Chain A
Amino acid sequence: MSRRARPVLALGVAGLTLSLAACGSGSGAADDSSSGGKVKVGLITKTDTNPYFVKMKQGAEQAAKSADVELTTAAGKFDGDNAGQITALENMVAAGVKGVLITPNDSKAIVPAIAKARAKGVLVIALDTPPEPQSAVDALFATDNVKAGELIGAYAKAAMGGKPVKIATLDLAPGVSVGVQRHDGFVKGFGIDASDPSIVCSQDTGGDQAKGQTAMETCLQKAPDVNLVYAINEPAALGAYTAIKAKGRENDVMIVAIDGGCAGVAAVKEGKIAATSQQYPLKMAADGVKAVVEYAKSGKKDTGYTDTGVKLITDEPQTGAESEDTGFGTQNCWG
């Protein structure tokens, strides 16, 4: 019965939306950032839940507070969510931000939306992950992922001391630049080429602990004599440790990782992971906010690539591989 009334109701809705649209066009150009007073800065991360991005957000918040600017944050719904980031970017531009810091979920797919924002005079800085091409943004503040890989590659080479190695690599996912760069860096740092026969197993983990464990179990099945594990990040490394421990091999398999999260540094301290390359998301975001503030003040845009640094963290240093201990790692960790 009541279904009949609904089309009428619905017409009312249509009318409302039209009138809203009409009101909208009437009130004119209030989207000027000058009307708000405080400078507005936006931060768009890959997801809300990953501790890495939580730390990044914290860095942005601290910097925004000390510079007395207004920070808005948003994130994709899942790793890879491009449409969600586009929506957030558009809303921030509509809110009148002076600059946006973004960690692209999809390096290529975000480019047209960034171009639109920049066309409206918004400074866009990529954090952590560069867009493709990198020139799509004004500037990039990120870890040198190749270098991060090289550090642990060189460390592993020194620590293995010329013993024959059987390497398992626990990678990220096909085609994701961060994963590819870290993997290539590790291989280069170890002093072999990508097709070297000492790499006996390579599996994708998505950087996930459970998948890291599954991947390592598979690798141990395929090549029981694995004695060195490279992991894309510490969750994958810890998953691998669980699998290795289940086989009773924890004392003769060395694991190296990248990221420098607090749980990861703790795992280095406990000896589960031999070494990790630590990156600094808090610094990326803080520097990003400062760059936007500078742009708002002087109109000067930061350009090009700024390396936000990476350090090797281990409690068993090797000659020829410069490192910091887990005390330093804990002080500067994220998560």
Chain B
Amino acid sequence: MTTSAPLAVRADGPAALRRLLSSPSAGPLAALILASVFFSTATDQFLSGGNFSLILQQVMVVGTLAIGQTLIILTAGIDLSCGAVMAFGGILIAKLAVEGPLPPLLAIALGILACAGFGLVNGVLVRVVPLPPFIVTLGMLNVAFALTHIYSEEQTVTGLPGPLTVLGRTFPLGRTDVTYGSLVTVALFLGFAYALSSTAWGKHVYALGNSAESARLSGIRVSRLTVGVYTIAGLVYGIAALLLVSRTGVGDPQAGQTDNLDSITAVVLGGTSLFGGRGTVLGTLVGVLVVGVFRNGLQLMGVSSVYQTLVTGVLVILAVTVDQLSRKGTR
């Protein structure tokens, strides 16, 4: 079934082109290309050796969070707790390894599992009670935030052992340096893109987002699927926590405070509908890169950071507008 898709696209060029243009990812992709071209001409450094890998490295944490966020938004949910859950995971990993003291790999595993635990609780509350995702994750945002500050005693954890920072290190690729962590992020994007487009699980996620009731009637075990999606999202936040710790080289209780909104921004910019059932994780990657490219490019041009916020805000509104118009068009 899925193998026929690329064939069909190749078979009729104009239709494929039309489909490409009407895809919700077309706008952000165009924005990414135009912005890249613009910044390449406006600054000397945009196309220079390390800059693209720098952007990738800068967006890897929010990008990874945005993968989990995409999964949840595809089920017509939303997750406000992702940044706070990640901060908790990060401080847990750092503190267990430094003060625990546990072997670093065990600390990492426990931190990631703790994040998955938050996801599991979110999923159960959303589906089994059931409560609105917005409210559940708003509550969990505060719970995770508070636990982070209680557990860390407001102290930044420094002196991390090597294995915790290895993903923040770079290796040379051509004339640029790439962090190991950005490879993890890219691998996660590709893995989830495959899982969503080519597995039964992926189809079920879309079905759930389009209509939970129809999904249930067609035999999908909706409760298990929902709880599973939130748990997997939590697990992904745990990986983001490891990336955060390795990138900054410290356990930081203040981390992630706006990352929930930044991840939603990336998802929306990538053309995923906030109403669920429509969108892709690779669209989200585009969304993440759009934000990263604008921030980097404007900074290279010497433009003040408030303009980065302004641009991001305008792009989000445009993206939602495109989503709404394309929905009307398809009906």
Q: Is A28 an interface position by the 8 A CB rule?
A: yes
Interface size on A, residues (CB 8 A): 64
Q: Do residues A5 and B304 form an inter-chain contact, with CB atoms below 8 A?
A: no
By the criterion CB–CB under 8 Å, are A25 and B16 in contact?
Answer: no
Within 8 A of A (CB), among B25-63: 25-26, 29, 32-33, 36, 43-45, 47-54, 57-58, 61
* Interface residues on chain B, size class: 35 or more
B305 surroundings in chain A (CB, below 8 A): 48, 73-75, 88
Could you pull out 11 A-B pairs where Cβ atoms are within 8 angstroms?
A6-B197, A9-B282, A26-B175, A29-B48, A74-B304, A83-B61, A83-B256, A108-B156, A109-B156, A113-B249, A175-B153
Contact count A vs B, C-beta below 8 Å: 199
CA distance A107 to B156 in the complex (A): 9
> Min CB distance, A277 to chain B, in Å?
25
Residue interface mask A1-33, B partner, CB < 8 A = 1: 111111111111110110011111111111100
Complex Cα distance, B2 from A106, in Å, reads 49
A94-B300 contact, Cβ under 8 Å, with A3-B206, A7-B193, A8-B6: yes
Q: Answer whether A2 and B22 are a contact pair too, CB < 8 Å, given A25-B175, A91-B299.
A: yes
- The residue from A22, A75, A77 contacting B258, defined by CB atoms under 8 A apart: A77
Q: State the CA gap A17–B53 with chains docked (Å).
A: 10
B residues less than 8 Å from A29 (CB atoms): 48-49, 175
Within 8 Å of chain A (Cβ to Cβ): is B218? no
Q: Known: A2-B330, A17-B289, A24-B48. Is A86-B206 also a contact (CB below 8 A)?
A: no
A71 located at the interface, meaning its Cβ lies under 8 Å from any Cβ of chain B in the complex: yes
Q: What per-residue 1/0 map shows which CB atoms of B284-295 lie under 8 Å from chain A? A: 011001000001
Interface residues of B in 165-217 (CB under 8 A from A): 173-176, 190, 193, 197, 206
A80 close to B254 (CB less than 8 A): yes
Asked whether B257 lies within 8 Å of A81 as measured between CB atoms, the reply is yes
Residue of A6, A8, A24, A108 touching B176 (CB-CB under 8 A): A24
Tell me the nearest residue of chain A to B62, going by C-beta.
A83
Docked-complex contact B248 and A21, CB < 8 angstroms: no
A94 and B252 contact, Cβ closer than 8 Å, known pairs A24-B49, A108-B158: no
Q: Mark A99-115, 1 if CB is under 8 A from B, else 0.
A: 00000011111011100
